[in-house]
Amino acid sequence: MRYSPPNNRLYTKNRANFAKRLKKNSIAVFHSNDIMPTNADGMMPFHQNNDLFYLTGIDQEETILMVYPDFHDHKLKEILFIRETNEEIAIWEGHKYTKEEAREISGIETVLWASDFDRIFNTLMAEAENVYLNTNEHIRAEIIVETRNARFIKSCRERYPLHQYHRSSFIMHQLRAVKSDEEIFALQEACDITEKGFRRILNFVKPGVMEYEIEAEYIHEFLRNKSKGFAYSPIIASGFNSCVLHYVENSKACNNGDILLMDVAAEYGNYNADMTRSIPVNGQYTKRQKEVYNAVLRVKREAMKMLIPGNTIPAYHKEVGKFMESELLGLGLIDKTDIKNQSPESPAYKRYFMHGTSHHLGLDVHDVGNIYQEMKTGMVFTVEPGIYIREENLGIRLENDVVITSNGVTDLMKNIPIEADEIEELMNK
């Protein structure tokens, strides 16, 4: 692995917190993600199931975690099953975890080969009453591909129909929403690598450069700093493309006078940063571009003040909308008649600011967590207001990642330039 793994106390603590929330005499099983095919014999890069990673730190395919806190034999209360390697696999695919390495990373004493799973699971199921199985219940998820977890749920219920089945995801969403110090460290590393990429391109962007060339500069800087690469498909959007929220083609030339909106960030140790900056291609904002830019920046700063323990995402977004409404009035994009005629379901500001301001951030870029749950210290959110004026080919979005504390937020991207004057200065050195 490229990153330095944290002490296994993190994963031991995560499993203990999960186990405390299980019903009495329960067994829980987590499977790794599949390696997904492309075409012919091609395969996509492997990405571990984030719930399994959160509980074990194991970043390898064909891994299974079994947790049974009330089982009689201490050695079988936690079992990690990993892929058995051999000389041929080592030749073709490289090194795989040994049992000793998996034990050191995860903190799990009992590590067995995956081929032992069915036999051990059958033994434990004879004693268990409740079974916790893992599913993807993210509110934005569109489930199309059947996962290893989904296949296991189907076979498990067929083989053991009289057990009581429960959802692990409900517990995992609660746990993963609040980050530990070790997780915040990894997120800070991802943000610091992102900063290096951004500072690199400030010296690279000029009229005529292609969006994909900028993408290449970012990935070069990310990889050389121990990141596996982009946290998500990068948006490198110049001119009118800056008004397309999920533009990922990155194929156009950046023209003189354009704004370049870049929603791009690095991952580190499977934890993800999420940054957006909007810079002038020629190094100098026009008067209008700077007016819109500073309006977005003011909304962002007001939004950060509202990320406090006890608030909720729906209430927060409603209040952010009021600040955006005021800024759009000042920019002449909406008027008092628009506001008078608006409905609660379709506020006037949504014409120019049509997405949410914040989402949970962590192992997933849009991390798990109940949006109706009150905010707590240790939660990590993005803050990303934007104004998109399609008739002016002008889109501005600004985004930082913050941790909620008892005394306001800690900005993980406080060192990444965001003031318009500082960006101009850095681009014109």
DSSP labels, 335-374: -HHHHHT-BTTB-GGGGT--S-S--B-SSSSS----TTSP
pTM above 0.85, yes or no: yes
Q: What is the pLDDT of residue 87?
A: 86
The closest alpha carbon to 358, from 347, 366, 349, 350, belongs to 366
Place of tokens 């034999």: 73
Residues sharing a CB contact under 8 Å with residue 274, sequence separation 6 or more, in sequence order: 231, 232, 263, 265, 361, 365, 382, 384, 399, 401
Instruction: Specify the pLDDT at position 245.
Output: 97
- Measured CA to CA, the distance from residue 250 to residue 230 in angstroms comes to 14
pLDDT of residue 380: 98
CA 171 to chain centre: 18
What whole-number distance in Å separates Cα of residue 206 and Cα of residue 254?
A: 8
pLDDT score of 349 = 98
Mean pLDDT by 10-residue block, N- to C-terminus, for the chain (429 residues)? 92 98 98 94 94 98 98 97 91 92 98 97 98 94 92 98 98 98 98 98 98 98 98 98 97 98 98 98 98 98 98 97 98 96 94 97 97 96 98 98 96 98 97
List of domains in the chain: 9-177 (3.40.350.10), 181-427 (3.90.230.10)
pLDDT in the model for residue 255: 98
Quote the crossing angle between the two packed helices 211-223 and 181-202, to the nearest 10°.
140
Closest-CA residue to 360 (of 402, 410, 316)? 402
Rounded Cα–Cα distance for residues 229 and 221 (Å): 9
The pLDDT of residue 347 is 96
